[in-house]
Amino acid sequence: MPLQLGRWQASNPSALVVSLRHGPANALRAAGRVLAAHSSDEEDVAVLGSVRQFASPNFIGFSRFALAQSCFSATALLIEFAGIVLISIVTGMAYHGIVYGEQGFVETYAAIGILAGLGYTSAFLIRDEYAVAVLLEKGRSSGRIFLTWSLVFVGLSIIGFLTKTTHEFSRGWLVVFFVSGFAGVLFLNAMLSLAVAHVLARGWVRRRKVMIVATDREVASLEKEMNEGATRFWVIARTVIPNTAQEPDQIEAVLDAAVANARALAVDDIVISNGLCHGDFLERVVNAFKVLPVALHLSTSGFVGRFKDARIARFGQTATLSLMRPPLGPFAATTKRSFDMVAAGVALVILSPLFAAIALLIKLDSPGPVFFKQRRRGYNSEEFRIWKFRTMTSLDDGDVIVQATENDRRITAVGDFLRRTSLDELPQLINVLKGEMSLVGPRPHAVAHDRIFERRIESYPRRLNVKPGITGWAQVNGFRGETRTEEAMRQRVDHDLYYIDNCSLGFDLYIILMTLISSKAGRNAR
């Protein structure tokens, strides 16, 4: 068979077939020598005579002067650390000069900035969130940043209390530092995410070199999937095994050649396709590559590849591939529930006069009860009755419920005001105390509407994997109120699922804050 661009093909179907493209010329020559050494006289493999044409001068990512990805990660950490220290000093000196009319002690603000910077960067370093892959994907969520920054200030307060040094700095400045520091780290996170994509595209940071080991039926699709939008790595070689049921000697020859090729190219990662996972063949492949200082990966393309949180778990001596987990672990669920109970209890006490005033207005405005209760589905599809201030003349709770629309004649005068200000939702604090709802989560829909949309939108039932909330990520992004089209409901569901996949106490606090200050949160309220 003839030599094709990007692929060395052999006339023997059991022989090793490797694609080398855009690699450095010296590495390609070395790989060519390796392949030539493992090719028999009968094999039609033109190696050294054609290898140069695969080395493209326009390829980026293999420059000898490019920065290693670990060095970029360290640089990103130092930038955030320095930024926090600088914000501490600048805000401290400015606050002291404006409020007290004199220059403050730069050492004090520098020391606090260093402590804050160490705490903040350490929290993300432990979770390996300075890795290029994390920064390149989307950076960190604003909710996680807010929670981490808040915990840093809790730590600073504890240190100040234990060392009796809280008198050395202004509490007003601490508030300024908290707000400006949070804005600063949000900005740095966004800039680092943009920077990593830019430097990878320019070739200033070295891409990881990847070899694919796959069957002939999988190799093309696997390489295509890996290269779609990829900028942090480059597939420079592929080992194709057309028939895994070969003689042991032939298999060993193929794997030996692949190992030598990986050495010559200084491969960083080897990805093995799941098509090789039958019998003891996978073990033989893995054992062959274990002699290399590389990261070995087993491809999970296809159905399993849809689960981004898939990981290895063990039940006794049995190893399993865990495809998904509950949105909240035991600690996170306990923390969220504790916060809900405390916040809802305090809010009910503080807002009790407002409750009384609204109840009086409802009774004076129209006949009927003060509260409206309707069946909704909660966590794990369990039904409960949601509490709301009555805003309409009808109390629909059957199998067919007509959504409220703009200028709906069923809405009372007081009800119109309550709906536009979302005050009609306040009684749901009672549902929160009862454990049926949370302060933050996907908004619960009427059971009749649930039955309609769960048949039309495949992912709709996933909304019930967490407790419904008084406010949610969809609501603060303007997806609330009447859903006139199925596409509008899909957008709402997409936002709900994003919250479920990223829920945390920090994200909850951020959503509550946005509910209070964002103009989008009140959009379509009716």
pLDDT tens column, 218-277:
877 787 777 776 567 778 787 777 655 566 677 788 888 888 888 888 888 898 887 777
Q: Cα separation of 43 and 425, whole Å?
A: 76
pLDDT confidence of residue 230: 58
Domain coordinates in residue numbering, the chain: 17-62+207-322, 69-202, 330-522
May I ask the CATH architecture of the domain 17-62+207-322?
3-Layer(aba) Sandwich (3.40)
Q: Which residues of 290-329 are buried (b: 16+ CB within 10 A; e: fewer)?
A: eebebeeeebebeeeeeeeeeeeeeeeeeeeeeeeeebbe
Residue 38 has pLDDT above 70, yes or no: no
Q: Which pLDDT belongs to residue 398?
A: 58
Question: What does the block give as tokens for 417?
Answer: 């005001």
Q: Return mean pLDDT, the chain.
A: 78
Residue 82: the pLDDT is 95
Q: What is the pTM of this model?
A: 0.59
Residue-level pLDDT at 1: 31
| Chain segment 392-425, per-residue pLDDT in tens | 877 766 555 656 666 677 888 888 899 888 899 9
The more confident residue out of 449 and 159 is 159
Out of 65-74, 350-359, 498-507, the most confident range is 350-359
pLDDT-derived band of residue 389, with 50, 70 and 90 as boundaries? very high
Type and span of the H or E element at 295: strand 295-298
| Spatial distance between the Cα atoms of 473 and 493, rounded to a whole number of angstroms | 10
Instruction: Choose between 206 and 351: higher pLDDT.
Output: 351
Q: Higher-confidence residue: 167 or 400?
A: 167
Of 29 and 397, more confident: 397
- State residue 20 phi and psi, 5-degree precision: -120, 125
